[in-house]
A and B are shown apart, each in its own frame.
Chain A
Amino acid sequence: MADLVKLTIDGREVQAAPGTLVIDAAKTVGIEIPAFCYYEGLSLAAACRMCLVEVEKMPKMMTACTLPVAEGMVVRTETPQVKAARKGTLEFLLTNHPLDCPVCDKGGECELQDMVFRYGAGESRYNETKIHVPEKQYSPVVFFDAPRCILCFRCIRTCNEGMGVGALGVINRGAVSEIAPSSGDHLECDECGACIDICPVGALTSGTYRYQTRPWEMTHVATICTHCADGCKTTLGTRNDRIIRGNNRDRSGINGEFLCIKGRYAFDFYDAGERLQAPLARVNGKLEEVSWSEALLLVAKRFNQVLADGGSFGVIGSNHTSNEENYYLQKFAREVLRTSHIDHHRTGDVVALVDALSGQTGKLATVADLYERKAVVVLGADLSLEHPLLSNQIRANWRHHQAHVYAVSAGTVREDKYAVASVRVGNAAETSDPSRFAHPQGKASAAEYLAALEQLRDKLKAEPELVMLFDDSFKGGDVRKLVEFGESLGIPVKYIGLVDYSNSRGAIDMGLTPELLPGYKASGQPGLHLEEMLAAELSALWVVGANPFQSGAARKAGFLVVQDMFLTETAALADVVLPAASAYEKNGTVTNVTGEVQKLKHAINTMGAKPDLEIMGFIAREMGVAGSLGPWIPDAVFDEIRKNVRGYEVPAPVIATGGAAQTAPVNGRVPVELRPDLVHSDHNGLFASGTLGRYSKVLHTVLESRLSR
């Protein structure tokens, strides 16, 4: 590391690495230089003039946000001239500002309010008429109120640089400048809402949050988004058992402040009209509302009956339920129902990856690795649409560290824009003007991908290190071939096997498959797979948080119990439907696509719905078997998981305090026949989220949802 530069700020000696900006150097010794436009991680704008400081030997005041430190530099941040400049800047910013703080969504958490409170002038000398422009709606989720805007251009930069979308710009000039959307009078973008969060004032406001509450009236609960597998932390603002907004402004979690439309807005399914709030039981062929005690008793009696008759059980678990629920469910199935017919919809072949990497450690990449490693290969998936956080990490890595990105896919992907090499495989024709949301785009075989990788071999060999991401194009033996290729490069390679949903990874880890127990131990018991269970004449089928009958398959099971939030195709066929709580209504842990375990935190209650773990516990109690299964308390079950599941010996304090800890299941061989035919990804785009996505209004009201599936 180069020698540190010594400088003086407000009489204090400061040491900083060469290239550090004065504004950041000041922060290291607790001196705050105010700024609006400066934003860590984005390009420099020097637009707001709030960070002006005096620097000795420089004739004019300098913007601390663009000035790199220099040896012997003497900076002063609290001189009368600096104070007057700040006051002046604020007075200018307020000339056309409507000062409608009492009705502004940003009131209470507004940077302009805070700055004026601290540095500003209490009165204005501006007597002329303020320029006023009516507010505009740019999309169902983005509103723009031009007079409030202070033109810091953070929104433009976060959209362009951070998201790589570039849907916002600034038009006109001077006092009539305003932020403009990409498509005439409206936005055509990811609808992620990053521009709203990053806005220091109330110029960009959220269609779902606006005028709902004051920020200080909410309780903020940091939990994990329940849509895709990336495991973003979303901090839910709740009030009176309602979720009012989602964001992650405190940058806690593996995603920093990044969220896509699903994390920021698509929590709205919890409140959908179709939400089940009472158990249903089939009476004279029709599903009718019954009380919880009746429903539970009905299930317990029937389960005990089937057990007594020596009947067969099938159990289908979920990609969204917590690790605790999955663990408890498989224990229930195996120990109480004495069945190995347990499965879930597998969305990526993690089993094959873990098997191929057996005997090695540190081979599974984390979300952070995608930001830190020198090179990344993306195979198959249209990452920016299917795994927005992973894509964001890679983009930030390229922007900040010039990482080498290789995009190997069957169609045009956004990674092409900054990839050192893009390779097209399969039969997908390259379009000159691809709809940015068109998805999915064609398919290629693993053999074609591997051939493309061979072409890249020399380039990849020259990289100091690598992360490889692959989707369900690679299954079974092909995953092994891919790992063989990676290991033959002679450089450190880490892998990510992409899976679809918030706890897809956890479902495999927790043994929701007939052949594997929790922690990838062989069950030694043959059992039916998902499709086979649907086709078999089972005495009882128990579906927890899944929708296997979506395919339109006919029900064969003698008795069907479904736990779900909604009356899905599967629930509609059931004998008993038990209304389940969503991820935002329960505690527990989930494991993301990179194997990082994080805590779900109970944010709200929805009347009538119960967490799946509780439902299972109550069924056990009614059956008289609760003692053998142990308490249905998430923390207690997680303790059991930590003790019993290989790879889950993660530090409890990290999880408890809202951190992420990567599980390390890679050691011994996974003793199981690979079943690539069972693996199938839904390839959800930005505006789809499996069955759950159907019940999110916001995912369907944004214009772009029509462009994708």
Chain B
Amino acid sequence: MTFSPELEERFAKFLTSYPPGRQRSAMIPMLLYAQDELGSISDEVIDEVARRVGVTPLQVNEVLSYYSMLHKKPLGKYHVQVCTNISCLLMDGDKLWDHACKKLGIGHKEVTADGEISLEEVECMGACSWAPAIQVNYDFHHKVTPEKLDQLLDSLRKKP
């Protein structure tokens, strides 16, 4: 399969970024960028990445299923990740999570019917000082309250 010219360019760079014989090191960045472009990682992408870095599709699957930021199922346009690890939990991260589930009517790793928003309960994101924290795609939001979450979710929906 082929990817967009931009992605192909990145891949070509990744494959030469590591010492000879270590092309498999390019696997994670390739998967991450492919996911950003395609929304999720299909079996077709797995086979293609496996072929390009010289491993078996099973080995790509091993990596893919290990890292929680890599997904095989399509996510929403906005992927909302709520931390319920210890610091955030102490700051009512669990209530924030419950609130988000209730408001969107979906649960862990589920997507709203319109495909706009998906939810994921995640472990520590390294933002303990500003707990409770959430991450929407690559953007952090700190000291989130249920009200702030409502506003944020509403604004995401309104985005073009």
Which of the 9-residue segments B58-66, B108-116, B144-152 touches chain A? B58-66
Selected contact of A182 from candidates B58, B65, B66, CB within 8 Å: B58
Smallest distance from the beta carbon of A680 to chain B beta carbons, Å? 36
Q: Are A171 and B61 in contact (CB under 8 A)?
A: yes
Interface size class of A (residues with CB under 8 A): 10 to 19
Chain B neighbourhood of A166, CB < 8 A: 56, 58-59
Mark out the residues of chain A between 156 and 172 whose CB falls within 8 Å of any chain B CB in the assembled complex: 166-172
Selected contact of B66 from candidates A167, A168, A172, A181, CB within 8 Å: A172
Q: Are B66 and A169 in contact (CB under 8 A)?
A: no
Mark out the residues of chain A between 332 and 389 whose CB falls within 8 Å of any chain B CB in the assembled complex: none
Chain B neighbourhood of A479, CB < 8 A: none
- CA–CA, A292 to B57, complex, Å? 58
- CA–CA, A647 to B59, complex, Å? 50
Q: Are B56 and A171 in contact (CB under 8 A)?
A: no
Q: Are B61 and A180 in contact (CB under 8 A)?
A: yes
Smallest distance from the beta carbon of A538 to chain B beta carbons, Å? 56
Chain B neighbourhood of A171, CB < 8 A: 61-62, 65-66
Among B57, B58, B61, B65: residue with most chain A CB under 10 A: B58
Q: Are A173 and B66 in contact (CB under 8 A)?
A: yes
- State the main secondary structure of chain A at its contact with B: strand
Chain B neighbourhood of A168, CB < 8 A: 58
Selected contact of B59 from candidates A169, A172, A173, CB within 8 Å: A169
- CA–CA, A173 to B61, complex, Å? 12
Total A-B residue pairs with C-beta atoms closer than 8 Å?
A: 26
CB-based nearest B residue for A184? B43
Smallest distance from the beta carbon of B21 to chain A beta carbons, Å? 13
Smallest distance from the beta carbon of A286 to chain B beta carbons, Å? 55
Q: Are B65 and A172 in contact (CB under 8 A)?
A: yes
Smallest distance from the beta carbon of A169 to chain B beta carbons, Å? 4
- CA–CA, A95 to B59, complex, Å? 28
- State the main secondary structure of chain B at its contact with A: helix
Interface size class of B (residues with CB under 8 A): under 10
- CA–CA, A170 to B61, complex, Å? 9
Q: Are B62 and A170 in contact (CB under 8 A)?
A: yes
Smallest distance from the beta carbon of A432 to chain B beta carbons, Å? 9
Smallest distance from the beta carbon of B142 to chain A beta carbons, Å? 27
Mark out the residues of chain B between 42 and 66 whose CB falls within 8 Å of any chain A CB in the assembled complex: 56-59, 61-62, 65-66
Smallest distance from the beta carbon of A414 to chain B beta carbons, Å? 14
Mark out the residues of chain A between 303 and 357 whose CB falls within 8 Å of any chain B CB in the assembled complex: none
- CA–CA, A593 to B107, complex, Å? 62
- CA–CA, A684 to B123, complex, Å? 53
Chain A neighbourhood of B59, CB < 8 A: 166, 169
- CA–CA, A166 to B56, complex, Å? 8
Q: Are B65 and A173 in contact (CB under 8 A)?
A: yes
- CA–CA, A170 to B66, complex, Å? 9
Chain B neighbourhood of A182, CB < 8 A: 56-58
Chain B neighbourhood of A173, CB < 8 A: 65-66
Mark out the residues of chain A between 161 and 201 whose CB falls within 8 Å of any chain B CB in the assembled complex: 166-173, 180-182
- CA–CA, A167 to B58, complex, Å? 8
Smallest distance from the beta carbon of B153 to chain A beta carbons, Å? 29
Smallest distance from the beta carbon of A500 to chain B beta carbons, Å? 31
- CA–CA, A335 to B58, complex, Å? 62
- CA–CA, A168 to B58, complex, Å? 8
Chain A neighbourhood of B62, CB < 8 A: 169-171, 180
Q: Are A180 and B58 in contact (CB under 8 A)?
A: yes
Chain A neighbourhood of B66, CB < 8 A: 171-173
Chain A neighbourhood of B65, CB < 8 A: 171-173
Task: Encode B64-91 as 1/0 by CB contact (under 8 A) with A.
Answer: 0110000000000000000000000000
Residue pairs across A and B with Cβ atoms less than 8 A apart, 26 shown, are A166-B56, A166-B58, A166-B59, A167-B58, A168-B58, A169-B56, A169-B58, A169-B59, A169-B61, A169-B62, A170-B62, A171-B61, A171-B62, A171-B65, A171-B66, A172-B65, A172-B66, A173-B65, A173-B66, A180-B58, A180-B61, A180-B62, A181-B58, A182-B56, A182-B57, A182-B58
Known pairs A169-B59, A173-B65, A181-B58 / 7 extra A-B pairs, C-beta < 8 Å: A166-B58, A168-B58, A169-B56, A169-B61, A169-B62, A171-B65, A180-B58
